[in-house]
Structure 1
Amino acid sequence: MLHTKRWRFFAVLSIVGLILLILLKINFISITIATSSAERGKIFDQNGVILATNKKVKSLYCTSNDEKLSNQDTSNTLSFFNQFSSEFQHDISAKDIKSQLQQSCKKQTSNDIPLYSDINESELTFINKNKPNNVIIKDELIRYYPKHEIGSQLIGYVENDLNSKYGPAGKSGIELQYENDLKGKPGKTLIFKMNNKKFLWNIQKVQKGKDVRLALDSKLQQKTEEALRSQIKKIPDANAGYVVITDVKTGAILTMANSAVFNPNTLNTHVSSKNENIKSLSQNKAIQKLKYGESYVNMASTIKPLTILIGLNEKLFQPEDTYLDKGTFQYDNQNNIMNAPGTPTGEITPRQAIINSSNTFMTAKVA
């Protein structure tokens, strides 16, 4: 008896499943899950100044009803952007647009392809009048950096991932380091469609990303970058430099400056081959290893001021104390430390040890 009931249950279940399969096949019913992106969290400095936020804009996308763009759609898109660039003196080349379209086809993504963002009123009028059918306008949020170049390597940038359900993702700096906190969670809606009628169920609420507050002082950061650029101009053959300022009591990073800098806002605006050059500037060389050819360059003498600070903090010596620098120092009867020129500097204070870059002082008095 139990066996018969179980057999009937599976028979009915199979019939219902078959009916549903047929209805799905003829598109009488459909079941899909729509994903809505979460708003990304903001980044603040220690005083509450916004360093990274989100901006509502109108953006241009290329779309297609087929799996891949047709040659005609591609041609229409390129022709339109040639007109658009010429009309508003934008640096958007047909070559860059074509490359973006080809890359999306190779990835076989069904998503719309982003081409240009932050459209103003005059551009919108031109676009509505001249755009081909496969170019559409979307309202969306893009990442915006109010301070532009200031602290750009530290803050980082985001980039659109055509296959991501989370929207733009952090690619460097704080944007990358705190990606899991900043991105939030997307919303999910189950859409049941039957004979052109839709029934919606929210199965996951959108959760806005968390805000991140830094110890950075944006005003001090700006002054540091200006001073750094000024010093680089005075030094022959120098084209880059890095500065880190910390709170000696807490260790908090107050500024972390690089030169040259970049404006991450330009990465959001439009497709350009120059974006790759901009991204190459995003490496925070103040804390990342520098590579020349196949070799990495260590921190070397840049660590000496911190070494002196450790010695003073640990009361290993006083600012007025002196040390007789003989040019070499040996410890453990085998390790011989020498100054770079190999010459002695005589009686020196901690301050003079930094000025003369004394390896022997650092080793004998601190290490």
Structure 2
Amino acid sequence: MSRSNFKRSVSRAKRPQPTTKNKLFAEKSVASTRVSRRSAPPGKLKPSPLPKWRLILVWAVMVVGMIGLGWKLYQLQIVQGKELQEKARSQQAVNLRPYIPRRSIIDGEGHVLATDRLEHILYVHPVQFKQPPEAIAAALSPILDNQTPQDLMERFKQRKTGIPIARNLTEGQADRIKQLRLDGVELNETYARFYPQKEIASEIIGYVDSDRRGQAGVELSQEKLLERDLLSLYVRRTALGEIIPAFLPEDVLKSNDLQIQLTLDLRLQRAARLALQQQLKKFNAKRGAVIVMDATDGSLLSLVCEPTFDPNEYYKSRVELFKNWTVSDLYEPGSTFKPINIALALEAGVIQPNTVVFDSGAVTVDGWNIFNATKTGNGAINIAEVLQTSSNVAMVHIMRRLSRKDYYQRLQKLELNQRTEIDLPGEVAGHLKSEEIFTERGIELATTSFGQGFSLTPVKLVQLHGALANGGKLVTPHLVRGLVDVKGTLHWQPKHKVKQIIDPQVSKQVVEMMETVVTDGSGKSSIIPQYRIGGKTGTAQKAGPRGGYLPNAKITSFVAILPIESPRYVVLAVVDEPQGGNTFGSTVAAPIAKQVIEALISLKGIPPSKTQ
């Protein structure tokens, strides 16, 4: 046995073991003590006093803790307050960009021209096909419009993934495709711009791209107006990413229902396009345009360009079709500018309505020989007959009665070198040569007298004839009437400038002379029984890109004002490069204007003239 084990055994032997009697005595003592403590009356027992140093320690800990807490709060709120606020804002704030549709665009009668709608787009990913491509093409073809299995197979070969197959699918088509459960076939839902009238007003409306940004027409020029008020929304969120209701504005899901209303009359637009298409086809012309303006305020009731495009499928069209050439392209107006020049001469007092001018058929200016289109003279004719015969020679004689400087200043008053400020993108200003060049050479005055040697846009010509119709005021051609609600109530309207450029009495005299062009002159093809209409034909040489004129290329046009007894509407028809032997303003453009005027009379309820 080791020494340590021996010591433990000895100590156990020496320790007294309790007997049964001792155990009972101890238990009774403990019990009696518990009973005596329970039975002792209150107040008899005195708790042992807490040492003073313990109280001091507790209070010291509490004071130090309060000081530390206060210091920490000072650090967090005062010293680091701004920094922590920024951190909290970045962690809690979230920028929501809820889908807010662009405003709809409607015509003057409330017909929808552009709106947002839910669109189903079909994509295929050949790399994910689990069936033969032939089987997938055969399954999709009956559902899709005008796409054979062979067409689809060719599309499948374009690339391995992300091939767009069809857009604008109906709900029924989308449901049928979903039921096929084909791997590698994907249907996407998105809101897209929709143009229910297709190409009828595309040159006016324009289109939006895949990012829903306007790229042409009103969609571009009125981009800010088309966007609704709520562009983005900042809200607070919890640590779990849930939006805190208290920080969500009450009207977050509301947006005003205002629409952009145009001055356009869709019915007249359709009639004008049909009339223009017929003549373009008949004369195999390059392009054409029709403009109808209410001269009282500049409202455009119709603006047609051909050829055009379908804004729903703009990507299938040539880029050059996206511009509206009535505001972006310059041309020499030719004889349609002669009524404007007559007004300038009348206002200058160098002629009167009964003034007689001798037309010999030719005149030489600065060594240049100028002829009438007919190559013949008209003899002694008054001012109305000058317009009826569209005499170039007589116009040169009339405008030479003004000094070159005076004539130039009067042309500047017409704002030929300025834009009309129409609410369409891409407008260019007209081109009038500098005063130095114009006054230095007599040929400049001569060619300008019959509408050549300078250029303007078709819209500018309509604006100038509007001044003849409305008593001499230059109004702003425009398409946007304003913002209206679903009830048609106008909530906002753009303001346009008005400028007096021609004496009211002079403008009236010129309009009455233009009536004789229709009744007795080159505009007879636009006669409408019981209605008094003024007009002027134009057949101008087409300027080349490097100066001079293009051989066998011309622009034919006809401008009309009606009704003569109370002039209000201006109609312009322009056809560029008609083909054939009998291509003049009277034969190509005037019939278009006549059809448009007939539609205008019917749609606007213009009563027959009292006298004719």
Identify the residue that residue 331 of structure 2 maps to in structure 1.
Answer: 299
Q: Counterparts of 1:74 and 1:233 in 2: how far apart (Å)?
A: 44
Deviation at 1:193, TM superposition (A): 4.4
Identify the residue that residue 75 of structure 1 maps to in structure 2.
Answer: 127
| Post-superposition CA distance 1:39-79 (Å, at most 9, x none) | 22222223333322333x242377xxxxxxxxx967339x7
Q: Which among 120, 136, 154 is matched to residue 59 of structure 1? A: 120
Q: Answer yes or no: is the 8 Å Cα contact 2:103–2:227 preserved in 1.
A: yes
Q: Answer yes or no: is the 8 Å Cα contact 2:372–2:393 preserved in 1.
A: yes
Deviation at 1:188, TM superposition (A): 1.6
Matched, 1:170 2:214: yes
Local SS of the residue matching 1:245: strand
User: Which letter maps to 2:240?
Assistant: N
Identify the residue that residue 199 of structure 2 maps to in structure 1.
Answer: 149
Local SS of the residue matching 1:242: strand
Q: Answer yes or no: is the 8 Å Cα contact 2:338–2:387 preserved in 1.
A: no
Q: Where does 1:124-203 land on structure 2 (aligned, <5 Å)?
A: 124-130=175-181, 132=183, 135-138=186-189, 140-161=190-211, 168-185=212-229, 186-190=231-235, 192-195=237-240, 197-199=242-244, 201-202=247-248
User: Which letter maps to 2:323?
Assistant: Q
**What is the percent sequence identity of the aligned residues?**
17
Q: Counterparts of 1:96 and 1:210 in 2: how far apart (Å)?
A: 46
Q: Answer yes or no: is the 8 Å Cα contact 1:183–1:208 preserved in 2.
A: no
Local SS of the residue matching 1:135: strand
Larger C-alpha radius of gyration, 1 or 2? 2
Q: Counterparts of 1:209 and 1:310 in 2: how far apart (Å)?
A: 48
Identify the residue that residue 232 of structure 1 maps to in structure 2.
Answer: 280
Return closer, same or farther for 1:38/1:344 CA change in 2, 3 Å cut-off: farther
Q: Counterparts of 1:215 and 1:357 in 2: how far apart (Å)?
A: 37
Counting matched residue pairs gives 310
Q: Where does 1:222-301 land on structure 2 (aligned, <5 Å)?
A: 222-235=270-283, 237-267=284-314, 275-277=315-317, 279-289=319-329, 298-301=330-333
By relative contact order (CA 8 Å, sep 6+), the higher-ranking structure is 1
Return closer, same or farther for 1:197/1:97 CA change in 2, 3 Å cut-off: farther
Q: Answer yes or no: is the 8 Å Cα contact 1:33–1:188 preserved in 2.
A: yes
When the two structures are superposed, what TM-score results if normalisation uses the length of structure 2? Answer: 0.41
Return closer, same or farther for 1:152/1:342 CA change in 2, 3 Å cut-off: same
Q: Counterparts of 2:161 and 2:354 in 1: how far apart (Å)?
A: 63
Identify the residue that residue 339 of structure 2 maps to in structure 1.
Answer: 308
User: Which letter maps to 2:221?
Assistant: Q
Q: Answer yes or no: is the 8 Å Cα contact 1:31–1:193 preserved in 2.
A: no
Identify the residue that residue 32 of structure 1 maps to in structure 2.
Answer: 94
Q: Which among 100, 103, 106 is matched to residue 41 of structure 1? A: 103
Local SS of the residue matching 2:228: coil
Q: Answer yes or no: is the 8 Å Cα contact 1:245–1:256 preserved in 2.
A: yes
Q: Answer yes or no: is the 8 Å Cα contact 1:40–1:209 preserved in 2.
A: no
Q: Answer yes or no: is the 8 Å Cα contact 1:224–1:257 preserved in 2.
A: yes
Deviation at 1:234, TM superposition (A): 1.7
Local SS of the residue matching 1:158: coil
Give the structure with the higher percent strand.
1
Return closer, same or farther for 1:122/1:318 CA change in 2, 3 Å cut-off: farther
Q: Where does 1:92-107 land on structure 2 (aligned, <5 Å)?
A: 94=155
Local SS of the residue matching 2:121: strand
Bigger CA drift: 208-217 or 196-205?
196-205
Return closer, same or farther for 1:311/1:254 CA change in 2, 3 Å cut-off: farther
Return closer, same or farther for 1:96/1:314 CA change in 2, 3 Å cut-off: farther
Q: Counterparts of 2:391 and 2:73 in 1: how far apart (Å)?
A: 86
Return closer, same or farther for 1:33/1:248 CA change in 2, 3 Å cut-off: closer
Q: Counterparts of 1:19 and 1:38 in 2: how far apart (Å)?
A: 30
| Post-superposition CA distance 1:231-283 (Å, at most 9, x none) | 11221x4142112222344433221111112222235xxxxxxx242554222
Q: Counterparts of 2:120 and 2:264 in 1: how far apart (Å)?
A: 32
Deviation at 1:147, TM superposition (A): 2.1
Deviation at 1:176, TM superposition (A): 1.0
Q: Counterparts of 2:79 and 2:259 in 1: how far apart (Å)?
A: 54
Q: Counterparts of 1:223 and 1:47 in 2: how far apart (Å)?
A: 15
Q: Counterparts of 1:99 and 1:242 in 2: how far apart (Å)?
A: 45
Return closer, same or farther for 1:342/1:284 CA change in 2, 3 Å cut-off: same
Deviation at 1:178, TM superposition (A): 0.8
Return closer, same or farther for 1:233/1:100 CA change in 2, 3 Å cut-off: farther
Q: Counterparts of 2:72 and 2:344 in 1: how far apart (Å)?
A: 82
| Post-superposition CA distance 1:9-55 (Å, at most 9, x none) | 4776599689979xx9xxxx775322013222222223333322333
Identify the residue that residue 122 of structure 1 maps to in structure 2.
Answer: 173
Q: Answer yes or no: is the 8 Å Cα contact 2:125–2:161 preserved in 1.
A: no
Q: Counterparts of 1:352 and 1:132 in 2: how far apart (Å)?
A: 77
Q: Counterparts of 2:183 and 2:112 in 1: how far apart (Å)?
A: 38
Q: Which runs of 5+ in 2 are unaligned?
A: 1-70, 400-406, 412-612
Local SS of the residue matching 1:261: coil
User: Which letter maps to 1:264?
Assistant: P
Bigger CA drift: 336-345 or 140-149?
336-345
User: Which letter maps to 2:105?
Assistant: I
| Post-superposition CA distance 1:176-217 (Å, at most 9, x none) | 111110122324243524236443544694644752222222
Matched, 1:8 2:75: yes
Q: Which among 119, 141, 148 is matched to residue 86 of structure 1? A: 141
Q: Counterparts of 2:235 and 2:158 in 1: how far apart (Å)?
A: 35
Local SS of the residue matching 1:117: strand
Identify the residue that residue 522 of structure 2 maps to in structure 1.
Answer: none
User: Which letter maps to 1:35?
Assistant: R
Local SS of the residue matching 2:180: helix
Deviation at 1:320, TM superposition (A): 7.9
Q: Counterparts of 1:16 and 1:171 in 2: how far apart (Å)?
A: 44
| Post-superposition CA distance 1:269-318 (Å, at most 9, x none) | xxxxxx242554222122222xxxxxxxx31126x425525745996578
Q: Counterparts of 1:359 and 1:322 in 2: how far apart (Å)?
A: 13
Q: Counterparts of 1:308 and 1:196 in 2: how far apart (Å)?
A: 72
Local SS of the residue matching 1:151: helix
CA RMSD of aligned residues (A): 4.8
Return closer, same or farther for 1:54/1:85 CA change in 2, 3 Å cut-off: same
Q: Counterparts of 1:184 and 1:362 in 2: how far apart (Å)?
A: 55
Q: Counterparts of 2:160 and 2:316 in 1: how far apart (Å)?
A: 13
Identify the residue that residue 392 of structure 2 maps to in structure 1.
Answer: 358
Q: Answer yes or no: is the 8 Å Cα contact 1:322–1:350 preserved in 2.
A: no
Q: Counterparts of 1:306 and 1:99 in 2: how far apart (Å)?
A: 60
User: Which letter maps to 1:308?
Assistant: P
When the two structures are superposed, what TM-score results if normalisation uses the length of structure 1? Answer: 0.63
Q: Counterparts of 1:342 and 1:98 in 2: how far apart (Å)?
A: 63
